[in-house]
Each structure stands twice: as C-alpha cells, then as structure tokens.
Structure 1
Amino acid sequence: MRSYTTTGSNGVLNVTVIGDCPEEADEYTHLISKTTDRDSSISHGDGEYYEFEDGSKQLVLAEFWLLLRGSIPVILAYTLQNSLQTISVLVVGRISPEHLAIAAFSYMFAMCTAWLVALGGTTALDTLASSSFTGGSSKHDLGILLQRSFFILGIFYIPVAILWACSEPVFKLLGQDADLSRESARFLTCLIPGGLGYIYFEAMKKYLQAQGIMRPGTYVLLITSPINAALNYLFCYTFEMGLCGAPLATGISYWLSFALLVLYARFVAGHECWGGWSHKAFDNIGPLACLAFLGIIHVGTEWWAFEIVALAAGRLGTISLAAQSVIMTADQVLNTIPFGIGVAASARVGNLLGARNANGAARAANTAAWLSMLLGGVVLAILMGSRNHFAKIFSDDEGVVRLTADVMPYVALFQIADGLNGSCGGSLRGMGRQHVGAAVNIISYYCGALPLGIWLAFNGWGLKGLWVGQCIALYLVGFLEWAIVVLSNWNKEVDNAFKRMDPSERVEAGIMPANGSH
C-alpha cells in the first residue's frame, strides 16, 4: 500500500493506493490538485481520504459519486435554463391552444437553430478548454479560448438571425398552416436580440465548467427564472403585448443571465484564467471553428429529427400538434438530465485526457454511461406514473390531455436510451470526436427510424407512430455510441488531446519543439 499526497490552495488531499500503481495515483492526484481549490462538485473535496486500486470497485464508485456530484448542478442549471422558455410557453398557452402551439413551435425551432449554436457549438469548449486547463502551459489559454468562442459563435449566429427574420415563407414551404407560419415568424423576430445572449451565456458556463466550477449557472438562473416569469406576465398581460411579449421578456432574461455569470466570474471565481482581452483570440481559430461546427452537426442531427417529427405532427391536425407541443416542451426539460450528465462527462474526460490519464478517462466515460441509464430509469417511472395527468400542466383541452397520455409510454420508454445517448455523446465530445456522434445520428435517425416513424404516423398510428420511430432511433444511437466509447484507444486519445492545443501551448509545455517539428 502506497500513499500519495497532493496539496491544493485550500488544503491537502491524501490518496492511498492499494497495490503497485503509482502512475495511476500521480495522474489522478494531478487532476484533483488542479481542481481542488475551485469546486467540490468536481474535486473530491479538501482533505478527504480515499483508498482505491486500479480497476477496483472503490475506484469505480468514487468516479460514480464524482460524476453524480458534478452532474447535479449542471442538470439543475439546464433545467432552469429551459424553464425560461417553458414558463414563456405556459404564460402564452393560457391565452388559447393556438397560442400554445405557436409558442411551443417557435421555441422548438429556436432550439434547432440558435440554441443549437449555443449547446452544440460550445461543445468545442468541452473538448479544447477542459484538456487545455489540465494540460496547457498557461492558465490564460482558457480565457483566450473563451474570447475565440465569442467571435466564432457570434459569426455562426448571423445566418440564424437572418433565417428567423425570414422564417414565414420557410414554414409555409414546409407545409405549415399560414397563421402558424406568420405568427411564429413574428415570435422569432422578437427573439433575435435574446438569441445571442443565450449563446454567450452558454459559452461562459463552459469556461467555468472547464475549471471545475459547475454551480454558478444554477445560482444565476435561480435569480433570473422568477424575473423571467414576472417579465413574461408583465409584457403579455399588463402591457397587453400578447404573443410578442413572451420572446422579448425571455430575451431580456438571457442577457441578464449572461451578465450575472460574467460578474460571478469576475468577482467570485474563475477570473484567474481570463488574462484580459488578447489578439491571440483571432489566431488559430480553425480547430475551434471546426469542432464547433461538428458539435452543431452532432447535436443537430438528433434535434433536427425531433423538428421533423414536429413538422409531421402539424399535418396530423391541431390537437396532434398541441399534444406534440406539450410532449416536446416536457422532453426539452427532461433532456437536461442526459445532456447535463454529458456535459459533466465531457469536462471530466477532457480534464483526464489533458492530465494524460488514459485509464481514468476510459473509466469516467463508462461510469457516466451507467449513471445516465440509472437516472433514465427513474424518469421512465415518473412519466408512466403521471401520464394521465401530465398534459394538464400545459392545457385544459381534453383532447390534448387524452392524446398526450396515449403517446407518453413511448416517450417514457426511450428515457434510458436518451440517457445513454447523452452521456456517451458527452464522452465523444470530450475526446474531440463530434464527427463520430454525428455519423451515428445520421445513420440511426435518417436511414431508418425516422422514415419508419413517419410511415407509421400516416398509416393508422398517428402521433404514436412518430414516437415509435424516435424510440427506435434513440436505442440505436445510445448503444452504438457506447460501443464506440468502450472500444476506443484511450492512449491515442491522450495524444490527440495535445495535438489539438495551439502550437504555442505545445511548445511551452515541451510537447513540440520550437521549430514546429514532431
């Protein structure tokens, strides 16, 4: 039995290794020493005592607990983040079923466009920032990556804003009702200013998460969520702005969330890695832009499939569209669980790859998969238990409530697969393999399950047929991605993590000679 000690700024962390594996302890404690003074949800805490051996149950359980503690604040943050638009839908939905459908449809389109830039594009920071934090030569490299992401993601948002402003003919081209197309276009146009705030807020969260600071997003949203509810009610009813009041209120809430997160990073924790504005942010933008684009494709290939389902539901009638809107609004909230685990997993895997801990990264990825399936099972049980009353949260229409209850078993069934998809997708993003996840999604959704669901929907199954297809697709994606993660060469992934760093970082870290040769 060998003991190893690492000292963080807040205390001493003792790690006792049973057996002869000093390399594992050196790599493990190196990572913890990088995060021990930042956030206990990522570190094991100051002065805590652990005993483990390589491959032991104790080590796996310690990793399980670490990921659970890291995931909870992330899940809460994404739940609260989605609650901003969920509250908006609830406020507008009380006006009429038509307004409910318009608001839910508009936010779903926003999710598959601008929110996709935020949640998919910032996965580049999951890959680059987490490994740079533990493996980079300077802590200020992280601040440069954040600045670079502001610039690149802002550029990516421009075509989305143009699309929103011109979305009415697009919706008509997709076969949507003329009134729905017109009102949804108005709704999205009002949301354009707030979209950029959502993207920058997400980038700030990833900057802090790479440092192991997971909780500020939750703190900020606990403040802005009630403000958002008050603004939505004030704009829609008191100021009598109707449908347009909701996106304006929600957009203000997004910018307020971003501003509060910046203040947290400046005055509480996270400012050490900033280093000030630098022209280096405009150097070597290719890797981050490429990973951001692939991240958008990876996340988008799944979300676009759900958008196609929504478009198909619109052709099944108003009740089907309203029920689909209820289910999708709820699913966006529930999806925060697997997506939150995926974010925690990608940060953890990236940190461990940057710390040159191949075994630890593999263990973290597999542990995250089991954690996500466990939580997916819990969600499945809750949905099945509440399926007959669930839609009443959103609508009093009996037809909507009844149809939602009929479809809910299929939605509940895919929660386990959705969890596996979220966690393994997060691990792939931590490895910088967004393209692999995108390929799996394209094959699973578009080459089989999605066409099958649409065929079933218009051949007697209705809305249930669409969700049968989604259920099949998610199980295919989940187990394929897990197989890819399990079969990965993790030593090679460590090498790839350093190859993605800026050349100057690699030179200063002694990984690449100054003349640029390998």
Structure 2
Amino acid sequence: MLATVGWCVALGGTTALDTLASQAFTGGDRRTVSIHLQRCVVLLWLLFVPVALLWAFIEPVLLFLGQGEKLSEDVQAFLRILILGAPGYIGFESLKKYLQCQGIMRASTYVLLAVTPVNFVLNVWLVHHTPLGLLGSPLAVATTYWLCFVLLIVFTCISPTHRKNDTWAGLQPAIVFDIRSCFSFLKLAIPGILMVGTEWAAFEIVALAAGRLGSLPLAAQSVIMSTDQILNTIPFGIGVAASTRVGNLIGARSAEGAKRASHASALLSVIVGSIVMLVLIATKDVFGYLYSDDDDVVHLVSKVMPLVASFQIADGLAGSCGGVLRGQGRQHLGALFNLVAYYVLALPLGITLAFHPNTHLGLQGLWIGQVIALFIVGLSEYAVVWGGTNWDKEVQKGIERNEAEAKRRQLHERLGIDSEE
C-alpha cells in the first residue's frame, strides 16, 4: 500500500507530458518533445528522493502508528529493495507518455505483455527457490521495472513511426535544466502528483478502515477493491486517449476539435460506465464467488456491490474528464476536486457512517462516502469540460507554451554554437 502511493510520483508527475509533450508534438517544434521527456525523467527522479528516504527509514514511522515490530521491520526491508526499481519505473512511465503523445499507443502494451511472464517467473524463483524469501518479491519487481524501461527504449529506437516523427533532439542537459522550463514543468507535475495521489490514498485509507471492522468486512473489501481496480482501467484508458487527443488538438490550434474530442470521451465513458453498472447489479448476488467460496463474504459483497455499481458512470466521467484537464494543463483543478471531495467530505462521512454507534453501517458506510466523492469529482470535472472551458484561450495558452520552449531551445543551441566558435 505504501509503495502504491509512492509510485504516484511517476504516474502523477508524468501527466505534465500529457500537456507539454502532446501540445508540442502538433505545435510546430517537434524536437522539444524529447526535451520535455528528458526534463521529466530527471525532475521526477529528484522528486522521488524524499519518497525513497521515507521508504528507507519507514520502520520508526510504522512503529509510531502502532504497527507490530516484525511487520514494520519487514516493510522497511521490502521498500528498501523496491527503491532500486524506482528510476526504471519512472523512466518507463515517462517514455510511455512520450510515445503516447505521438500516437504510438501500443508500444508499452507490447513491452508489458512480454515482461509479465518474466515477472511471474522471477517472483516464484526468488521467493521460493532462493534464501531471499519475502525479499525476493521486491527484487523481482525492481528488476521487472528496469527491464520494462530498457525494452521500451529499444522499441523506441527501432520504431519507424518514431523515426518518422523526428522528435528526438539528442541529449541536451543544458536545455533540460533551464530554470524557467523546469519551473513550468513542476507547475504541472506537482498538481498531477496530487491529482493521482489523493485519490489513491483515499482508497487505501478505506482499506485500512475496513481492516478495523473485522476479518469478514476485510475479506469483502478485498473482493471489492480488486474488482474496482480492474474496472478502473476502462475509464483510465479513456482518460489516456483523451489527454493525448485533446493535447494534440490544442497544439494544432483546433479549439473546436479539442472540444469535440472532450465531449466524445465523456460520452464514451458514460456509455461504458452504464454497461458495467448494469452487469454489476445483475450479478451482485453471485459475484463474490469469483473470489471466495465463503457464503458470508459473498453475501456482504452483494450488499455493497450496488454502491460500487452506482458510481461507475461518475468514475467514468472522472477518468475521461480528468484526461481532458491533463491535456489542457489544468491538473490543479483535478487535485482540488479530489482534496475537497475525499478529505473534506467523503472520508469523514464514510468513517462516521461505518463506526458511529447510531449508524454503524460498517463496510457499506465506508463505500457510501466513496460514492459521494466520485460523483462530486466526476460531475465537477465534467462541468469544467462542458461549460467552464474557453477553448480558444486554451489554444492560445498552448501556443505561448510551445513558443516559449522553442525559443529557449533555440537560444541554448545558439549559445552552444557561439561558445564552440
């Protein structure tokens, strides 16, 4: 759980490329796309340093929070090894965004399909057939992350589409570390981290709270969370497509096209969310048997499943419209909506409903809070996309971003030529 929240530095920070790289790709100076990539990797490596320090010395923190000594010691040992894979993970996520903004969407999928069986074999071998035991798992995962990064680099180098796009400007550290450009990147990356991290952390808090309800609610929570994580890949995928498409169209100075793409992604997410909702409601009484043969667990899952089904449309809107906001460069709005919806309203309400003597709704109470949060986030983001966006202004902002970055790159290149002369 701690690792999942920590990876938000990569998943959230790379959303800056949804804005900068996708707009630069169609905005005229394609070479700046690779500059954004290099800056992203370096800055996110630096941003991960505080997380790595926390992971490396997490044992006293866990003891302070009341966790057992053996558990705290094992978690710290686990995370210390996982740190080794962090640069590879960040590099893979950054390079994936770099390719996606160019319309190369399948490369990372092919790499993951190739690496998944390797990851499985490494885990089994290191955990069960070496003295490492538990610590073999983070070593396998860290190795897998680096393997993903290296294979994606190879795929990028041999991709004819990438070569045709002509986005690679070579390694240019002087331009990458330009102060104003770094600041512009961080203005998007940090809200992106908050946008992703606040939502993930909220669901992990619900999981922790469910553990205090007892073994039965915890078992049902595991079923529900596993299901929700799988289903969330659908709106997440729509959001990835939306951020790339909207960013490309803004870079191409097509305000009307970006607007249509935004509404199309929202409509698609509503249609898909409706289908998923109907399937979950129709199968709620037997769904739990996919995970457990305990009738009590299945019965509790059936009571909570209508709540999970009810927010599928809202979750779809949050995923698709969140992607639109990232394409525009308005990650701060997504972070703000999440903070208010989850931490001001949903979590306090859900925990109260779950544990207060007058209500004592248990697991249902926790998920009522999450339903409210997702509806607030989804409808708020859709309101921004539908009526709160001046698309001509977003295009103008994209023009200004691209021109400023292009001028800085050309200036650095000119200074380099002059110094050589």
TM-score > 0.5 by shorter chain: yes
Aligned to 2:176, the other structure's residue is in SS state: helix
1:348 equivalent in alignment to 2:248: no
Mapped partners of 1:112, 1:313: distance in 2: 18
1:499 to 397, 400, 409: 400
Mapped partners of 2:362, 2:237: distance in 1: 32
Unaligned runs of 5+ in 1: 1-107, 510-518
Task: Give the deviation of 1:360 after TM superposition.
Answer: 0.8
Mapped partners of 1:197, 1:240: distance in 2: 25
1:118 equivalent in alignment to 2:10: yes
1:282 equivalent in alignment to 2:177: yes
Cα distance change, pair 394–241 in 1 and its aligned pair in 2 (3 A): farther
**Number of the residue aligned with 1:54:** none
Cα distance change, pair 374–135 in 1 and its aligned pair in 2 (3 A): same
**Number of the residue aligned with 2:270:** 373
**Number of the residue aligned with 1:14:** none
| Mean Cα deviation higher: 351-360 or 400-409 | 400-409
**Number of the residue aligned with 2:329:** 432
1:210 equivalent in alignment to 2:101: yes
**Number of the residue aligned with 2:362:** 462
Higher helix share: 2
The number of aligned residues is 400
**Number of the residue aligned with 1:300:** 197
Cα RMSD (Å): 2.3
**Number of the residue aligned with 1:132:** 24
1:163 equivalent in alignment to 2:64: no
**Number of the residue aligned with 1:81:** none
Q: Is the contact between residue 27 and residue 402 of structure 2 (CA under 8 Å) also seen in structure 1?
A: no
Which string of whole-angstrom CA distances, capped at 9 and with x for unpartnered residues, describes residues 313-339 of structure 1?
A: 232234433433343333223222111
**Number of the residue aligned with 1:109:** 2
Cα distance change, pair 178–417 in 1 and its aligned pair in 2 (3 A): farther
Mapped partners of 1:437, 1:179: distance in 2: 38
Task: Give the deviation of 1:111 after TM superposition.
Answer: 1.9
1:335 equivalent in alignment to 2:232: yes
Cα distance change, pair 247–404 in 1 and its aligned pair in 2 (3 A): farther
Q: Is the contact between residue 32 and residue 409 of structure 2 (CA under 8 Å) also seen in structure 1?
A: no
1:273 to 167, 190, 202: 167
* Percent of aligned pairs sharing the same letter: 54
Task: Give the deviation of 1:260 after TM superposition.
Answer: 0.9
Mapped partners of 2:70, 2:283: distance in 1: 33
The alignment's TM-score, normalised by the length of structure 2, stands at 0.88
Mapped partners of 1:183, 1:406: distance in 2: 35
What letter is aligned with 1:118? A
Cα distance change, pair 153–184 in 1 and its aligned pair in 2 (3 A): same
Cα distance change, pair 247–391 in 1 and its aligned pair in 2 (3 A): farther
**Number of the residue aligned with 1:407:** 304
What letter is aligned with 2:200? W
Cα distance change, pair 358–154 in 1 and its aligned pair in 2 (3 A): same
Aligned to 2:402, the other structure's residue is in SS state: coil
Q: Is the contact between residue 437 and residue 481 of structure 1 (CA under 8 Å) also seen in structure 2?
A: yes
**Number of the residue aligned with 1:29:** none
**Number of the residue aligned with 1:475:** 375
Which ranges of 4 or more aligned residues in structure 1 deviate by more than 6 Å?
Answer: none
Mapped partners of 1:285, 1:276: distance in 2: 18
Mapped partners of 1:175, 1:323: distance in 2: 24
**Number of the residue aligned with 1:76:** none
Task: Give the deviation of 1:192 after TM superposition.
Answer: 1.6
What letter is aligned with 2:109? T
Task: Give the deviation of 1:356 after TM superposition.
Answer: 0.6
Which residues in structure 2 correspond to 1:446-461 (within 5 Å)? 446-459=343-356, 460-461=360-361
**Number of the residue aligned with 1:420:** 317
Mapped partners of 1:316, 1:177: distance in 2: 19
Mapped partners of 2:370, 2:232: distance in 1: 14
What letter is aligned with 1:281? V
Which string of whole-angstrom CA distances, capped at 9 and with x for unpartnered residues, describes residues 65-110 of structure 1?
A: xxxxxxxxxxxxxxxxxxxxxxxxxxxxxxxxxxxxxxxxxxx322
1:490 equivalent in alignment to 2:391: yes
Cα distance change, pair 241–377 in 1 and its aligned pair in 2 (3 A): farther
Cα distance change, pair 504–156 in 1 and its aligned pair in 2 (3 A): closer
Mapped partners of 1:373, 1:430: distance in 2: 20
